[in-house]
């Protein structure tokens, strides 16, 4: 048999990464959600938790495990490690009021930020008792039936005096497994709703900065047609580069959170769809209530992302147009320079030809003068007329001098 793929064990363990923890009937299940304060903190927290288990005489988690469950002091405690947050969940008797139990490792996440706290009261009743209804805020009261009416859920998504969002689950008619699944699903709904909404305050805070950048980008683009010289083009390019850097910094700060919000929103939608809750008539369903609150927030976050992308694309197009304009102007300038150089070279060529001709004439003049003295004797002896003799010699002298000087000039090039 061939060797195992290096990721075979890891992907197999992922399928079993978050096993369901059975809860008693009745019982109270609480969960705290902590976001890491910086990259890699979840990994360091895992190592600290592993050391905590070894120190306290508890079975330590397996390396790279995503969930570890142990029992202590009558509690069933589960630590779950996610990409950027940690959840600590514990099940206790229904009458247990302790919101921060000792010896479960809460001190290990002191530097983490608490994002959400929730509790599920699992009751040994077939329906939500009517006497509990007045204890919920009627403005956000949700009362729904699940599992074809076998169980009921009630909540108002408001925090109690300890800061926990309270869910009541009437689960008498549910099996142990189904009761555990529903309890976990309610905790996950609260967890992913808060994690999805975590990005909203950040985008709201950055919306003013983005609006100012959008205005600056529009102003720069409107001024592009009025650019008439290199200095103005350079100033516009500097402004666009500054805007590009600011948009890039804004994008760098928020892109991960925006992507995370959409991912958490998707998980939340899947959990709500799987809940299949039906309103009882005394309150809204959990799905309706959360979808009406979380979905608009997610759309606001997505709209912010689109605005950021559009502004970045505008700057990129403006830079491209300005570069094209500058390139065209540079080509025109280069063409004019080449034309000037060509005209100068032509003038130099004409001047060179003139100098060659003048030089040939000057040399011929002096050479004929020398020949007139050199031939004075022969002309007198043979009785040649001096003027006629020199007139006949002059063209040949000029031609020879011109050819020799032209060869010299061209040889020097």
Across the chain, mean pLDDT equals 86
Categorize the per-residue pLDDT at 234 as very low, low, confident or very high, splitting at 50, 70 and 90.
Answer: confident
pLDDT in tens, 138-170: 899 999 999 999 999 999 999 999 999 999 999
- End-to-end CA separation in angstroms for the chain: 81
**What is the number of residues in the chain?**
413
Is the domain of 137 the same as that of 249? Answer: no
Is the domain of 220 the same as that of 348? Answer: no
Domain boundary pick from 141, 175, 209:
175
Question: Strands, DSSP E only, in 124-277?
Answer: 142-146, 151-159, 165-170
126 backbone dihedrals φ, ψ, rounded to 5° = -80, -20
Enter the tokens of residue 262. Answer: 């959409």
Is the domain of 53 the same as that of 120? Answer: yes
Is the domain of 23 the same as that of 155? Answer: yes
Statement: residue 258 has pLDDT above 60: yes
Residue 399 lies in domain: 342-412
In a domain, 309, yes or no: yes
Is the domain of 302 the same as that of 159? Answer: no
Residues 96, 101, 102, CA angle at the centre, nearest 5°? 140
In a domain, 3, yes or no: no
Is the domain of 74 the same as that of 155? Answer: yes
Domain boundary pick from 279, 302, 336:
336
Statement: residue 308 has pLDDT above 70: yes
384 backbone dihedrals φ, ψ, rounded to 5° = -85, 145
In a domain, 184, yes or no: no
Is the domain of 302 the same as that of 269? Answer: yes
Is the domain of 137 the same as that of 103? Answer: yes
Domain boundary pick from 106, 140, 175:
175
In a domain, 1, yes or no: no
Query: Counting Cβ atoms within 10 Å, is residue 186 exposed (0-12), middle (13-18) or buried (19+)?
Result: buried
Categorize the per-residue pLDDT at 389 as very low, low, confident or very high, splitting at 50, 70 and 90.
Answer: confident
Is the domain of 332 the same as that of 360? Answer: no
Is the domain of 223 the same as that of 161? Answer: no
Nearest to 248 by CA among 202, 207, 213: 213
Is the domain of 218 the same as that of 321? Answer: yes
- Angstrom CA distances, 81 to 44, 64, 120, 332, stand at 11, 9, 21, 63
Q: Highest mean pLDDT: which of 14-23, 85-94, 402-411?
A: 85-94
Partners of 69 in the β-ladder = 78
- Total domains in the chain come to 3
CATH at residue 262: 1.20.58
In a domain, 72, yes or no: yes
In a domain, 187, yes or no: no
190 backbone dihedrals φ, ψ, rounded to 5° = -65, -40
Is the domain of 235 the same as that of 368? Answer: no
Q: Is the dihedral of CA 94, 100, 106, 112 positive or negative?
A: positive
Q: What are the percentages of helix, strand and coil residues in the chain, rounded to 5? A: 60, 15, 25
Cβ proximity of 267 and 189 under 8 Å: no
In a domain, 185, yes or no: no
């Amino acid at each position: 048999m061939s060797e195992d793929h290096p990721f075979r064990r890891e992907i197999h363990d992922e399928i079993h990464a978050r096993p369901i923890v059975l809860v008693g009937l009745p019982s109270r299940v609480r969960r705290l959600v902590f976001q890491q304060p910086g990259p890699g903190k979840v990994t360091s927290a895992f190592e600290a938790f592993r050391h905590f288990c070894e120190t306290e005489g508890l079975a330590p988690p397996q390396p790279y495990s995503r969930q570890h469950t142990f029992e202590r002091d009558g509690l069933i405690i589960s630590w779950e490690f996610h990409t950027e947050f940690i959840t600590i969940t514990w099940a206790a008797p229904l009458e247990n009021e302790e919101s921060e139990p000792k010896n479960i490792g809460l001190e290990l996440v002191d530097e983490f930020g608490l994002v959400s706290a929730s509790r599920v009261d699992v009751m040994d009743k077939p329906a939500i008792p009517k006497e509990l209804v007045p204890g919920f805020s009627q403005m956000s009261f949700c009362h729904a039936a699940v599992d074809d009416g076998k169980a009921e859920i009630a909540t108002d998504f408001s925090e109690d005096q300890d800061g926990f969002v309270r869910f009541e689950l009437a689960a008498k008619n549910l099996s142990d497994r189904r009761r555990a699944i529903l309890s976990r699903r309610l905790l996950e709904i609260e967890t992913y709703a808060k994690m999805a909404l975590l990005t909203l305050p950040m985008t709201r805070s950055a919306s003013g900065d983005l609006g100012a950048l959008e205005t600056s980008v529009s102003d720069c683009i409107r001024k592009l047609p009025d650019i008439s010289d290199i200095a103005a083009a350079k100033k516009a390019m500097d402004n666009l580069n500054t805007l590009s850097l600011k948009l890039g910094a804004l994008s760098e700060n928020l892109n991960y959170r925006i992507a995370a919000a959409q991912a958490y929103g998707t998980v939340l939608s899947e959990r709500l769809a799987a809940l299949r809750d039906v309103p009882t008539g005394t309150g809204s369903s959990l799905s309706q209530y959360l979808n009406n609150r979380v979905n608009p927030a997610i759309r606001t976050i997505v709209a912010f992302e689109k605005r950021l992308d559009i502004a970045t694309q505008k700057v990129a197009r403006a830079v491209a147009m300005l570069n094209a304009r500058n390139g065209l102007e540079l080509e025109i300038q280069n063409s004019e320079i080449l034309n000037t150089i060509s005209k100068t070279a032509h003038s130099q060529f004409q001047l060179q030809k003139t100098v060659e001709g003048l030089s040939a004439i000057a040399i011929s003049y002096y050479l004929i003068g020398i020949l007139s003295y050199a031939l004075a004797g022969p002309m007198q002896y043979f009785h040649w007329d001096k003027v006629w003799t020199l007139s006949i010699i002059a063209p040949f002298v000029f031609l020879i001098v011109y050819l020799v000087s032209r060869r010299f000039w061209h040889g020097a090039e």
